[in-house]
């Protein structure tokens, strides 16, 4: 059940992305959910931004999963064809390197699998962060819960350039896009936590004004 507080001079109409009909309802009843105060104090992070990034992250996650799966299947099919026609043996004999080419192909498959896992996990961390903030803006999480459990994992391993360079162009673009998304979430995370710490006094003043307004009304 949502917690409500008395409404007194809270600048909610200036919060970008907040439903104006909901604001009108809060103004009419003279009260608002407690989390709405934090929304008014977080102009750089609002529901509209979170929803847009969440949609982007969902699409990116689907594209990454599907494209890497097709890449693995294509490599597996190519390897099977070469093995069945004796092409791999011919290449090894011609180069005088025994099974080095086959070993190289196996290594490349492992590298692709590792990059697929790394990229997918990076996007999943972004999705988890966005889901927590969606829950916060919906009033399902308190600010304390969000600060405890909504942290983005720091210093997630970057993709290896030499491996990414061997990937098809469209796959490389997906990897790069996942890194950009993670960097954007990192900036929002840092900005939100910095603003939250510096805004403690503002929150305290707002609570004092609300308490005074409730006292005067009583």
CA 182 to chain centre: 6
Of 41-50, 71-80, 89-98, 112-121, the poorest mean pLDDT is in 89-98
Band of pLDDT at residue 2, cut at 50, 70 and 90: very low
**Looking at the DSSP assignment, which residues form a beta bridge with residue 36?**
none
Select, from the ranges 138-152, 159-173, 197-211, the one with the highest average predicted confidence (pLDDT). 159-173
For the chain, what are the domain ranges? 1-41, 46-69+103-197
Measured distance CA(150)–CA(143) in Å, rounded:
10
Measured distance CA(38)–CA(44) in Å, rounded:
12
Helix (H), strand (E) at residue 6 = strand 4-6
Measured distance CA(27)–CA(140) in Å, rounded:
21
Nearest to 147 by CA among 127, 166, 133, 161: 133
Band of pLDDT at residue 37, cut at 50, 70 and 90: very low
Band of pLDDT at residue 57, cut at 50, 70 and 90: very high
Of 57-71, 148-162, 198-212, the poorest mean pLDDT is in 198-212
- The highest-level CATH class for domain 46-69+103-197 is mainly alpha
């Amino acid at each position: 059940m949502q917690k409500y507080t008395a409404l007194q001079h809270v600048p909610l109409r200036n919060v970008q992305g907040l439903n104006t009909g909901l604001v009108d309802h809060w103004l009419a009843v003279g009260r608002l959910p407690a989390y709405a105060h934090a929304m008014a104090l977080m102009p750089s992070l609002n529901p509209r931004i979170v929803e847009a990034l969440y949609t982007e992250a969902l699409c990116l996650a689907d594209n990454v999963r599907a494209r890497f799966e097709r890449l693995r299947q294509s490599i597996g099919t190519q390897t099977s064809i070469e093995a069945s026609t004796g092409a791999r043996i011919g290449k090894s004999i011609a180069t005088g390197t025994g099974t080095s080419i086959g070993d190289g192909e196996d290594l490349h498959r492992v590298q692709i699998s590792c990059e697929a896992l790394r990229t997918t996990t990076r996007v999943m961390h972004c999705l988890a962060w966005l889901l927590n903030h969606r829950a916060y803006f919906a009033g399902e999480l308190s600010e304390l819960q969000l600060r405890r459990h909504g942290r983005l994992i720091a210093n997630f391993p970057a993709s290896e350039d030499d491996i990414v360079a061997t990937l098809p162009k469209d796959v490389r673009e997906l990897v790069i896009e996942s890194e950009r998304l993670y960097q954007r979430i990192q900036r929002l995370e840092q900005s939100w936590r910095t603003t939250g710490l510096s805004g403690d006094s503002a929150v305290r003043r707002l609570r004092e004004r609300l308490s005074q307004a409730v006292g005067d009304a009583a």
